[in-house]
Structure 1
Amino acid sequence: MCDNGRIIPIMTFGPVSVLPEYRGKGYGSKLIRFAMEKALELVCGAITGNPDCY
């Protein structure tokens, strides 16, 4: 809840992992993009996660 009482939906996700033999082929990026698209569809005000993981 914000200081002004407003409620903002937040989506958190991660970590995302991909099997070693599939790394570097864009699968992780696709998973993250999919999650971000879903957050937009759900009208989330923010997405949290650790950018160092990606």
Structure 2
Amino acid sequence: MAKGIARGQTDILLKSKKVESKIWEDFSTDTYTIIAARAYYVVFADGTKWELK
């Protein structure tokens, strides 16, 4: 079985000192589970931007 990478995107409001989770619907017929996800680009309400490089 080959490992794959999905490039899906979602918008979730992040709050200070809070943990947030998101459940994605899995429409793939060959995927069993999502094992990790990470934010790579975050835009805060004041317009400040954070990007993982």
TM-score, normalised with respect to structure 1: 0.26
In terms of fraction of residues, the more helix-rich structure is 1
TM-score, normalised with respect to structure 2: 0.26
